[in-house]
Structure formats: structure tokens, C-alpha cells
Structure 1
Amino acid sequence: MLGLIAAFLTSFFATQFIIRFKHLHQHISADSNLSGPQKFHKVAVPRIGGISIACGLFAAVFTKTISLGSGHQGIILLICAIPTFAIGLTEDLTKKISVKQRLLFTAISAACVIYSLNIQITSFDIALIDFVFAIPFFGTLLTVFAITGLANAYNIIDGFNGLSSMVGIITLLALAYVAYLLGDITIIFLSLIMAGAILGFFIWNYPQGLIFLGDGGAYLIGFWIGALSIWLCFAHPEVSPWFALLINGYPIMETLFTIYRRRIHQNSNPGEPDGIHFHTLIFRRILQARYFDSALSANARTAPYLWILAGLSIAPALLWWQSTPILIGACAFFAIGYVWLYSKIVRFKTPSWMHL
């Protein structure tokens, strides 16, 4: 509990400090591009909210180490996260770091997690295909790919106020809940301190968007959740590996569909931004015109749609975290539902219940 409080308060006041003195640093820290395909803010806004979250994590781990004389695994995970956070923050400040460079540094962080904590994906829990784990380094490479991909996925969904940060909080609370059922104090602690650190930022980000996560914050959240998702399944074989997949269903599905859309339909670079993400369609096709002058902007009203969508994949993961067959079915159902709903919205056939 002390670590959670430390994470929240440190992040909260660090974010307030960044906003209060933005006039001193916004020439390098602000997102001044107001015309990009995924830009919906009207004034330059600091995009270094990841600093607040990193400070919150450090305060929580430091507090536990000092007060209880433990917490070395938290220190290790925090050190492993440095390359991911550093390259993301560098992009926030310079706007010159390519996607490939960010993925490379995140992969280095993932490799550090595997080496330092001795965790990795070891099974699909499907007898017919689990033989692939006998291939040397297959599990290691898959783990690096999974953590790196999820970190990038959180950056992809970071398009509107409160979107990726609240999805992260919901996912972390779900991880903490299953860890609680299993009595895993370490994963409970690491999940809750990240949730607390994000919440300290979220209060300033939503609904008004006084500060943005930036690449540093989004990559850090995705990396942390990816590592904990795999760690939980590795440490507790009774947890289906499909739990880790389904609990992150929304950002994973958004990423996979983005790659498919850009590569197959647009014949373009998957790393380039576009304006037809799921969250962008909801904003433009459902909310933008209706709430143009509303006190609670269309931007702020977009995120709750995606919070619910994320919850639709997380709920079955929590209910049937031990059952691989049910979770595989839930993954298939979620993927089909996502594609169906996306196709409806993009063709101007949005279901009436989404216009509430």
C-alpha cells in the first residue's frame, strides 16, 4: 500500500510540476504538430508525461526497498525498462527517432528482462504446436517479440486523452487480481505501483489533455504490462498463456489490424501514421460533429468507447484464466467482433447503439 501511495503522489506532483513550468521547456517538450493524421489537440501540449510515471515507479520501488528491505525484483524490472523509456523520451524531445530504433531499444529491454528475471513464454498450451518450443531460442525470441510488440501497441492506441493510460490501468488491475488469487505478492506490487503512477498522470491528462504520455510513457506502460503478463504465466503454469494474450486483446488487435490495413490495403509502411485507427473513426464518424462545442469535448468522449472495448477482452480473461479452450474461443470472438464493428463504422453503417 505504501508503494502504491508513493507511486501515485510522486506521479501526480511531478505531472503538476511539468505543466506548471511548461513555459520553460515546451520549446522542446511540446507536441506542436497540430495537423498530423492523428493530431486532435488545438494548442501545443507537453508530451513528456512518461517522466511522471517513471518517477512514480522509482519512488514506489525505492520506498519498498528502504522500508521493507526488499523489492530487488522491482529494481531489476525498472532497470530493464530504461532503454525502452529512454528511446521513447528521446523521440518526445527530438521528434527524430524512427520506429525501428524504438523497437530495437525496446527489444533490448525485453532481452534484459529474460536474462535478469529468467522468464519467457514456454508454451501455447496446445499439444499439437508446443513442439516448436524445442527449437533453440524460440521461446526467447517469441518473448522479445511479444513484449516489444505490446510496447509499440500502447503507443499506437495513444491517440486521445485518457485512452491508453486507462486501458493500462484496467489491464494492470486485472493482472493484480489474478496475482492476488495466486498469492503472488511481487506481481501484485508491480502491477499496482504502475497503475498508481499512471493514475497520477491520468488526472491531469483526462479529460482536458493538459499533458500527453508521449512515446516514453506509452512504451514504458506497454513494456511493463507485457513483462508482467508473461511473468505471471511463467511463474504460475496453471494460468493459461492465452490469458496474457486476451488481457491485452485491444492493443494487440489494433496493432495487427493496423499492420494488415497499411500493408495490404494501402501498400504503405506499417510504421507510418494514418487517420483510420479504430479510435480515430469513433472520433470522426460518431463524436466530432455532435460534440464540437461541448464542455466535454469529442476528444474526451472517445476514450470511454475504447475502455469498454478493452474490457470486453479482459472480462473473459478474468473469468476463465485457467481454461485455454475458452480463452481461445474468446480471442476468436473478440477478433471477429472487432473487425465487424470496424467495417461497420468505416462504411458509415455505425450501429445505432453507438450514438448514445
Structure 2
Amino acid sequence: MTLIIGGLVVLALTWALTGLLRRYAVHKQLMDIPNARSSHKVPTPRGGGVAIVVVGLLALPALVYGTSVSLDSAIAFGGAGLAVAAVGWLDDHGHVAAGWRLLVHFLAAGWGLYWLGGMPDLTLFGWTMPGLWLALPALVWLVWLLNLYNFMDGIDGIAGVEALTACASGLLLAWLMVPEAPLALYGVMILAALGFLVWNFPPAKIFMGDAGSGFVGLWLGLLSIYAAHQAPVLFWGWVILLAMFVSDATVTLFFRWCRRESLFEAHRSHAYQHRAAQWGHKATTLFYGTLNVIWLLPMAWWVVSGGIEPLWGVLLAYAPVVFLVYQFGAGIRHVER
């Protein structure tokens, strides 16, 4: 009963705070104004993701006190998330040079990784990779996730639906593998994303903004490592669950890099942006979320349950997703019609 009440509080508080932030953004004229690189057509308030940040940080002490979430885990998620949200908030309200942002991102990722106890040992083809060897790849994984989440937060609802479906799937996998594992951290992100989506689902009344998208992206990455400490194979499950966002962003940035275009410049060449131009925001967002549930979740369970070697499972899960985003035009310059 206590967990149910706590969950309802998280949901209601995120919903209410997002509404207050919308009023604040309108009053202060913190608006995303449509331009040639935008996927929306009307000025829309931004910064609503701060509600997820605030509620997520406030929930951590309660989780430590009322559940089996450890203090070290709360310090990992709280400190790392706060740092990334702070630099994102500054960027939302002005401009922070890409180099300084990236430095904060690596420091925040390192903080989270350290307090979670680093990477656990992972096994591939019967060979155990020591967690110490995986520290640098894990750091890059976290920084890439938080940045790609910002890149992918470009149409109504897509970032919130990704957080909702990925976390719900991750919670299910963890519960099936380790029923006694603490699952409250997953629940906080699920319910906070749901409360935010009330305002952000197409047609969006407010956007997430850099502070929220970076925070959510980093928390999803930290959850993948948190899950790996519950059962190492769960890490591979999370790699699969995030395949839609990882593939779209990575393929897009690869082709932009090949053309020697700036990787930090705003653009409309992601696969989801091409789809939104043809299908609309709602259909595109629902399509990405549906694939998370009907394709990536079963593939992740196949790996987690031991039905297939993790590397083969990851490759099989990603292959059609990479092909799909390529077919959708990931990395191709958007042409106005």
C-alpha cells in the first residue's frame, strides 16, 4: 500500500509540476520558436523535463528510507542526474559551450559509475570480462546515452514514451530474473515519465528541454548498470531495450560525420524526424514505442532468460532496427517540399 501511495504521489507531482513549469515558461517567454530545422510548427514552451528531474531527486531519500534502495545507489543517481540537469538547464536558458557540457557529462557519468560500484563482470561466449576492463566503455555508454537522448527529443512525446516503455520493460525483466531485487528506481522513472507525458503527448503543450532529456538519458544508462548488479545478463537486455534510440541517433550521426557536418548543429536528419514529416508526431511516437514492446522486449527476454548468447541476441535485435532507420532516411538531409 505504501508503494502504491508513493507511486501516485510521484505521478501527481510530476503532472502538477509540469503544468506549473509550462505557466512559468510562457510567462518568461522560454519558447521553442519553429525554424527550418524544427519538427514543430507553432511556438511551444520548453523546460518541462525539469519536473522529472525534481521529482526524481526528491524521491531518492524516500526510496532509501522506505525501500531497499541503497544509499550508494541514491548518491549515484542523485549526484549524476543533478549535474547533468544543471548544465542542461543553463543551456536551456542561454548557451553552454559543447566542450564544457561534455566535460560535465563525463564527470557526472563517472560519479554515477563509481557510486554504483563500477561495472560488474560480464560474460560472452563463456568468457568473463572483468568489470575493471569495462569501466571506460561503460563511461562512453553513459555519455552517449544522455547525449543521444537530447538528439532524439525532437518530436512530441517520443522521449517520454521511450522512457516509459524502456523502464517498464526493464522492470519486468528484472522482476522475472531477480524477484527479490529492489525495483522502486524503475518505478520512479516510469511514473514520472507518465506524468510528464500528459502534457507532452502529441500535440505537446510543453517540451522536455535539455535539462530533462539529459537527466532521463543518464538515468536510463545508470539503470542498465544498476540492473547489471542485480543480474549481469540484464545489462544486455537494456542494450536491446534502448535499440530504437541508439540506432536512430548513431546511424544519423555516422552519416553526418561522413559528410563532415557538425555533430552538435541542430538538424532534421534523424529517421524519426523524416517519419514525423510524413506520418505526423503521434503516429511516429507510437510506432517507436510499439516496436520497443513487440520486438525489443521479447528479444531482450530471449537473451536474459539464456535462450541465446548475449552478443548474438544483441546483433539479431539491432539488425532490423538499423535497417529500418536507414530505410527511414537516418542521416539524410531533410528536404522541404
Give the TM-score normalised by the residue count of structure 2. 0.86
SS of residue in 1 equivalent to 2:316:
helix
Once superposed, what is the RMSD of the aligned Cα atoms? 2.5
What is the alpha-carbon distance in structure 2 between the residues aligned to residue 331 and residue 66 of structure 1? Answer: 37
**For 1:10-43, what per-residue CA distance to the aligned partner results, in whole angstroms no more than 9, with x for missing partners?**
11100111223433222xx3222x1142x12233
Residue aligning to 1:290: none
Q: Is contact 1:50–1:216 with CA below 8 Å preserved after alignment?
A: yes
1:212 is aligned to 2:207: yes
What is the alpha-carbon distance in structure 1 between the residues aligned to residue 307 and residue 125 of structure 2? Answer: 8
- Within 5 Å, which residues of 2 pair with 1:295-314? 298-311=280-293, 312-314=295-297
Residue aligning to 1:318: 301
Q: Is contact 1:6–1:60 with CA below 8 Å preserved after alignment?
A: no
Unaligned segments of structure 2, at least 5 residues: 331-337
Bigger shift: 17-26 or 192-201? 17-26
SS of residue in 2 equivalent to 1:212:
coil
Residue 324 (structure 1) shift: 7.7
Residue 242 (structure 1) shift: 2.2
1:192 is aligned to 2:191: no
What is the alpha-carbon distance in structure 2 between the residues aligned to residue 317 and residue 70 of structure 1? Answer: 24
AA aligned opposite 2:242: N
Q: Is contact 1:9–1:200 with CA below 8 Å preserved after alignment?
A: yes
**For 1:298-346, what per-residue CA distance to the aligned partner results, in whole angstroms no more than 9, with x for missing partners?**
2222211211233322331034314384443343234332343344444
Q: Is contact 2:57–2:78 with CA below 8 Å preserved after alignment?
A: yes
**Measured at CA, do residues 69 and 321 of structure 1 come closer, stay the same or move farther in structure 2, by a change above 3 Å?**
closer
**Measured at CA, do residues 21 and 242 of structure 1 come closer, stay the same or move farther in structure 2, by a change above 3 Å?**
closer
What is the alpha-carbon distance in structure 2 between the residues aligned to residue 259 and residue 70 of structure 1? Answer: 36
Q: Is contact 2:81–2:218 with CA below 8 Å preserved after alignment?
A: yes
Residue 111 (structure 1) shift: 0.9
**Measured at CA, do residues 67 and 121 of structure 1 come closer, stay the same or move farther in structure 2, by a change above 3 Å?**
closer
Residue 53 (structure 1) shift: 0.4
Q: Is contact 2:48–2:196 with CA below 8 Å preserved after alignment?
A: yes
Residue 117 (structure 1) shift: 2.4
Residue aligning to 1:78: 78
Give the TM-score normalised by the residue count of structure 1. 0.82
What is the alpha-carbon distance in structure 1 between the residues aligned to residue 51 and residue 234 of structure 2? Answer: 33
What is the alpha-carbon distance in structure 2 between the residues aligned to residue 82 and residue 324 of structure 1? Answer: 38
**For 1:144-167, what per-residue CA distance to the aligned partner results, in whole angstroms no more than 9, with x for missing partners?**
111111111211211111101111
Residue aligning to 1:7: 10
**For 1:178-235, what per-residue CA distance to the aligned partner results, in whole angstroms no more than 9, with x for missing partners?**
222203543x100101111111111011122111111111111111110111121133
Q: Is contact 1:51–1:216 with CA below 8 Å preserved after alignment?
A: yes
Q: Is contact 1:61–1:71 with CA below 8 Å preserved after alignment?
A: no
Unaligned segments of structure 1, at least 5 residues: 288-297, 348-356
Percent identity over paired residues: 20
Q: Is contact 1:241–1:324 with CA below 8 Å preserved after alignment?
A: no
Report the count of equivalent residues.
Answer: 324
Match of 2:247 among 242, 253, 267: 253
Residue aligning to 1:278: 271
Bigger shift: 247-256 or 331-340? 331-340
